[in-house]
Structure formats: C-alpha cells, structure tokens
Amino acid sequence: MTIGSNILFYESIESTNITALALLREKELPEGTVIQAAFQSSGKGQAGNSWKSEKGQNLLFSVVLYPGSVSPGEQFIISMAISLGICDFTDIYFNGTTIKWPNDIYVNNEKIAGILIENSIMGDSIESSVAGIGFNINQDKFDPETRNPTSLKTITGRIHDTGKCLKEILACLDKRYKQLLYGDREQIRDEYISHLYRAGEWYTYRTAGIRFEGKITDILPSGSIRIEARDGNLREFSFKGVDFII
C-alpha cells in the first residue's frame, strides 16, 4: 500500500497541510506519507476557510503524493479521486454520500468531510500534491459558525475507533490513487459526476449576489462546474464563483 505506509503523528500543530508543505521544503518524503494530527490550531479549508475540530474526536490528516503523470491542466482529477476514496470509506458504514462541488463530502444536506488539495507545479508537471482531509468521526457538538455539520457518530448513533477508521480510509484512498495512476481516469470522472450533490436537478444558486435556478450538467477538466439556467443558457463557474443555496 502506498498511502499510509509512513504515518507521522502530531498531538497538536497549526495544520496538517502546512506541516506537510514545510517538511517537503526540507526533503522529499516517501510517497503516501500521512501527516496526522489530533488537533489543528489553524485548520485550513477551501479558499481560505477554516476547519474547526475537537481534539481527538475526528480524523485530521494530509497525504503527500507525487502524481507526475497528471498534467497541471487536468489536476482536478486528483481531487476527484480523493473525493471518491472518501465516499468509498463512508460506503462501509452507510449509503448515500455525495460530493458537493468541488470537494466537500455531504450526507443529505450536511457536511461530514472536507478536502483541501495543494499542488506544487514545476513547468508542465505536478511536482507534488498534498491532499488535506478533515473527516468528522465522533464529534457531535460543533462550533455555531460551522455550517450544517454532521459526523459518523451522528449518522450511525455510535462511537467509532478513529484508528480503525484511519486504516479503512487510507486503504480506500490508496485504491483510488492507483486507479488514477494506472487505471481508467474516465471512470473516475464519470463516478465523480454520478456522486455530485444536486446533479441533474433544479436548485437555487447565487452568483455575484444574484439568485438563479439551475441544474448541474457537467464538470470540466479544469474543475469548473457547468450549470444550465432555466432560460437554457449554460454557465460555467470556477471555485467560489457560485454558491449553493441550502
């Protein structure tokens, strides 16, 4: 197994992604190295958002990857594979997990996990990729500022062994990463779209302060989302370009 063959554990750090990136500046870590923390003082989410978590209750970790065969123009396929790996893990415990574009993991209308991928690009190749993951395992009381959270405990009604959950989720991620490197990338893309939260149905969105009704129809190789408006126009949005009204 590549992902999880080397695990570096910290009781408390600023963030697992920050630590992973700092270590990579010092030396090349073995591929699949996992930086895990019991607590993050400044957990990072997408587009500058924070990730808050009670100490020891959840999974907080980053995975170091070297996906040299992935070009910068198709780097969103990494996010797709990681997102699907987390969905594979949740399938062990319950069904119905979806991916809220670009890479939040949802159960119904509640968020159980988030992903932050930071790629280092050198010329026309990806030198390294750090995939940070926060997965709510046993926490059932959340900061009031946290939007629509849930956890594995909340959904299943029981406390879970975080060590066991980590082994399971790393195995699922490892399988998807190998599919990314050696398997069918088109299948990854198709499965990602089939798991999309609200895909193919009419919902309300907001862009530049204006609400509109639309239907998600596709995800472009760049990672941008394509939404069909009620008037038939196809609109494309990059990250943070459109909000889901929940």
100 band by pLDDT with thresholds 50, 70 and 90: very high
The predicted structure's pLDDT at residue 246: 87
Main-chain dihedrals φ then ψ at residue 164, nearest 5 degrees: -65, -40
pLDDT at 11 > cutoff 60: yes
List the domains of the chain with CATH numbers: 7-194 (3.30.930.10), 202-244 (2.30.30)
* Confidence band, pLDDT 50/70/90 cuts, at residue 176: very high
Average pLDDT over residues 43-48: 53
Whole-number pLDDT of residue 145: 82
pLDDT of 69 higher than 70: yes
Bridge-based pairing state of the strands 34-40 and 234-237: unpaired
* Interior angle at CA 16, CA 13 and CA 18, nearest 5: 90
- The better pLDDT of the pair 48, 38 is held by 38
Q: What confidence category does residue 54 fall into, taking pLDDT thresholds of 50, 70 and 90?
A: confident
Q: Cis omega before residue 72 (within 30°)? A: no
Calculate mean pLDDT across residues 140-169.
Answer: 94
For the cut 80, the answer to whether the pLDDT of residue 46 exceeds it is no
Torsion of Cα atoms, 32 then 37 then 23 then 88, to 10°:
20
* Residues 197-233 pLDDT 10s: 999 999 999 999 999 999 999 999 999 999 999 999 9
Q: How many CA atoms lie within 13 A of 227 on its CB side?
A: 25
- Give the residue carrying structure tokens 């999309």: 196
Q: Would the pLDDT of 47 be above 90?
A: no
Compute the half-sphere exposure of residue 242: CA atoms within 13 Å on the CB side of its CA. Answer: 23
Bridge-partner residues for 39, per DSSP?
12
